[in-house]
Amino acid sequence: MNVVVTGGAGFIGANLCRELSTRPGVGRITALDDLSTGSAANLKGVDAELVEGSILDTDLLDDVVSAADAVVHLAARPSVPRSLADPFASHEVNATGTVRVLEACRRRGTHLVAASSSSVYGAVPTLPKHEDLPTRPLSPYAASKLATEAYVLAHGASFGLPVLALRFFNVYGPLQPAGHAYAAVVPAFIDAMLRGAPVTVHGDGLQTRDFTYVGTVVRVLADAVLHQVTCAGPVNLAFGTRVSIRELIQRLATAVGGPPPTVEHLAARPGDVRDSQAADGVLRGLFPDVTPVPLDHGLADTVRWFRGLPEYAARSAGEPAGAGVL
């Protein structure tokens, strides 16, 4: 089986390429990425071909998808704050780009697994979030991801294309970058703690999230490809592990060690959802053998990965090595 991963040099994409390379039955792996947020270095040591280019390039997509048995569509312009700064750019990549990928797949009947987002639930207060709830996006990013999954499911219904739209919640783990304005909370907090800097929290810190370790996510994605899993509706990819941002800081502080971090509170950000937690019944029905990595194990593994980076290695001298779970 030949697999194309759009966004394959990114955080989740590169982890998926690594996972696919270990699976019997997977032949050629192609990572298509424009390297706007991904990095070729993420694929070092992975048996995957990197094709540098955009999902907005129809001719390139046709060429890359022509020999694929399955496409995992992860390429996107991420981040709520980034979408607030430039809504059109988020729409162009996340919505229009998805249609271009779908059309390349439709021309060949290629199985497509695509990443949506829990942000589509938006202002709906019900917990846990189940797939039959209405959607009320609070940001241009969330709206663009709702368009992503809507187009995917519409192509399945209209053209008989085999598709699976997965709503990612807060994915974290090795290869997720820190040190930029749009960094996700887990890498941002780890970076601050390892540098001895204050941890910055937007809002009161009582907002809750459902964090999912990237190793669990890519195992589900690989299983979906190998078993050609499809679904007529969206599917949450998370397991109901709801924790507050304050609790996350405490758990990370334990994983990092040393004195408790200083926490600085800023105003809540526009577009941020207050609470998020997945109902996982549909997911477990499709993937009954999935076993999620516990939050504390995943956080510890992520901290170990950060300590191995050159910019943190000097601070971590003398730290005992630990085996990862990825």
Per the structure block, which two tokens stand in for 103? 């059309």
pLDDT of residue 145: 98
CA distances (Å), origin 60, targets 4, 50, 57, 63, 100: 12, 13, 5, 5, 11
Classify strands 199-202 and 170-172 as parallel, antiparallel or unpaired.
unpaired
Task: For residue 295, report the phi and psi dihedrals to the nearest 5 degrees.
Answer: -55, -50
The mean of the pLDDT values for the chain is 94
**DSSP assigned state of 51:** E
How many CA atoms, within 13 angstroms, populate the side-chain half-sphere of residue 117? 29
d(CA 171, CA 186): 9
Q: Which residue has the tokens 């991801």?
A: 145
Q: How confident is the model at residue 161 (pLDDT cuts 50, 70, 90)?
A: very high
pLDDT of residue 213: 98
> Is residue 121 within 8 Å of 135, Cβ to Cβ?
yes
Classify strands 3-6 and 208-213 as parallel, antiparallel or unpaired.
unpaired
Burial of 308 (0-12, 13-18, 19+ CB in 10 A): middle
> Is residue 87 within 8 Å of 46, Cβ to Cβ?
no
CB count in 10 Å sphere of residue 66: 13
Sign (positive/negative) of CA torsion 165, 130, 248, 300? negative
Q: What is the pLDDT of residues 68-115, one digit of tens each?
A: 999 999 999 998 999 999 999 999 999 999 999 999 999 999 999 999
> Is residue 13 within 8 Å of 31, Cβ to Cβ?
yes
Q: What is the pLDDT of residues 1-47, one digit of tens each?
A: 999 999 999 999 999 999 999 999 999 999 999 999 999 999 999 99
pLDDT of residue 318: 47
> Is residue 167 within 8 Å of 118, Cβ to Cβ?
yes
Query: What is the location of CATH 3.40.50.720 in the chain?
Result: 3-171+212-237
d(CA 237, CA 221): 10
Q: Which CATH class is domain 3-171+212-237?
A: alpha beta
Mean pLDDT confidence for 116-121: 97
Residue 322 has pLDDT above 60, yes or no: no
Q: What's the one-letter identity of residue 287?
A: F
> Is residue 183 within 8 Å of 177, Cβ to Cβ?
yes
Query: What is the location of CATH 3.90.25.10 in the chain?
Result: 173-209+240-276+293-313
Active site residues: 141
Residue 320 has pLDDT above 90, yes or no: no
> Is residue 182 within 8 Å of 248, Cβ to Cβ?
no
String of DSSP letters for 229-279: ---SS-EEE----EEEHHHHHHHHHHHH-SSPPPEEEEPPPTT--SB--B-
pLDDT of residue 141: 96
Q: Which CATH code fits 173-209+240-276+293-313?
A: 3.90.25.10
Per the structure block, which two tokens stand in for 232? 């007529």
Residue 289 has pLDDT above 50, yes or no: yes
Residue 182 has pLDDT above 80, yes or no: no
Q: What's the one-letter identity of residue 145?
A: K
> Is residue 137 within 8 Å of 118, Cβ to Cβ?
no
d(CA 324, CA 304): 8
